[in-house]
Structure 1
Amino acid sequence: MAPVPRRPLSIDHAQRVRSLWTAWFLCLLFHTDLGLMPLFHGLSPEIESHVATERLPLVFWAMLLYFLVPLGAYVLSSYASSAPGWRRWRWFQFGLSVVYTLTNTAHFVVDILIPDSRSDQVLLMAVMLVLGLLINVESWRWCQTKSSWQI
């Protein structure tokens, strides 16, 4: 009996990117939730702030934007993987993932340098950093793949 020829393995990098973003989002939400956890035990979660009270709305808007941009990237990756003319968004996705990896790296380093930082938060930031690096890798691979959806 002749061996059956195997079809080359087709990896869905877009699906991997979306899965990694989902994991990253869950970690981000848990990072926020974990930061508030002391409230449930009668402790203050307050961190010494160097931001003037009148500037806090700007900080809150920046945090909201930091949440919403990758959410938009997640949605765009769904379109980019399923419709013609979206190949250039793969590169946008890759660039965005690099920017977020850099910001996560900075946040991770700051968390390590804070003398009284919580080890659970540092570990969670390390996980987010690893997920971000995986998003970088999969986004890069997705940019390099040829598909039937060309510009």
Structure 2
Amino acid sequence: MKARHRRAALILAGLCATGVGTALALHALNGSIALFVTPSQILAGEAPHAALFRLGGLVQQGSLQRDGLSVRFLVTDTAKAVPVVYTGILPDLFAQGRGVVVQGRLGPHGTFHATQVLAKHDADYMPPEARDAVEQARQAQRTLVQ
């Protein structure tokens, strides 16, 4: 085999290895990306189906139901609400009327099946996406009332 052919084969093998490595990295990243969605977006049909995503808003007052480790509650953006089911231990700061971000998948009947619950850490903090969604929902309600 000539030196030119060996060099071309090494370059081709290097390109193939780089391509396989890039494909594996993108596949791994794709599995860990979770989009942020609001209850209004879910009810408008804008949520990804059968994909992992995050739902954010406030835990609706009076909606919390406990049955052992299983918990049911509503997440609202003050305009719309989505039922959430979670099995596990809730964070200490989880409470009704407080901000929450839940990660999981949307079930076939519109119930969100959470695999992780994140509660906000103080009275002033809310993820920027959740704060914007709540503000947009409030503005939309004001527009409807006027």
Q: TM over 0.5: same fold?
A: no
TM-score (norm. length: structure 2): 0.27
Higher helix share: 1
- Kindly indicate whether structure 1 or structure 2 has the higher relative contact order, using CA contacts under 8 Å at least 6 residues apart: 1
Higher strand share: 2
The structure with the largest alpha-carbon Rg is: 2
TM-score (norm. length: structure 1): 0.26
